[in-house]
Copies of this chain bind each other. A is one copy, B any other.
Amino acid sequence: MFPICFILFFLFSSTSNAAVQDFCVGDPAAPESPAGYSCKPVTKVTIDDFVFSGLGIPGNTTNIINAAVTPAFAAQFPGVNGLGISAARLDLAPGGVIPMHTHRGASELLIVTRGRITTGFISSANVVYYKTLKKGDSIVLPQGLLHFQVNAAKIHSVAFVSFSSPDPGLQILDFALFANNLPSPLVEKTTFLDDAQVKKLKGVLGGTG
């Protein structure tokens, strides 16, 4: 049977070369394009490029928000590069909150795996859609809209979220406004917030100007 097998392999061998793009494991050291990272050579790809263990580890919630986001985006999980999907883990200690934020590049699908979480989004028409989810409930949060998660349980709550892009982005409202050098007068002018409020939050979050 040996010869037959060899003939078969020879027959399709050139096609197999085209198989590189079954996947495109990201190589952060090579040039990046608008479509994502360059591909690691297929010959160097192993199963470990497609596996990520970080979502199994609780994030450190000893912080101001009593919560943590553990991303598995293309930057952390090279296997998702080019595949249109990524994930993250949310940990919310009692009283924890993932503050108001947006993902510029993806819709989000969240499933609660422990505790209870109040979550929702605000539409371009300024309509609020939110609900308290129990373990096993899932919600979809449309791309680019403000949304939030708040622990609604007295215990540590956990959710797994996935995104419709390997690179969803994450812009946390308070960080965008108060954790950089955007001048306070400009923040106040464009948000209608009071000077005292802006300066207080800049103080907490390390902003200047």
Contact = CB atoms under 8 A, between A and B. Distances in A.
Contacts of A93: none
Contact of A193 (B16, B39, B170, B193): B193
A205 B8 contact: yes
Contacts of A180: 122, 126-128
A142 B51 contact: no
Interface residues on A, range: 35 or more
Nearest to A176: B122
Nearest to A49: B129
A73 B106 contact: no
A84 B206 contact: no
Contacts of A17: 75-76
Interface in A155-196: 160, 162-165, 167-177, 179-182, 186, 189-194
Given A31-B31, A130-B186, 19 more contacts: A7-B62, A7-B63, A12-B172, A15-B71, A16-B125, A19-B125, A21-B32, A30-B31, A31-B38, A48-B131, A50-B141, A55-B138, A83-B107, A85-B85, A85-B164, A124-B169, A146-B171, A192-B201, A194-B197
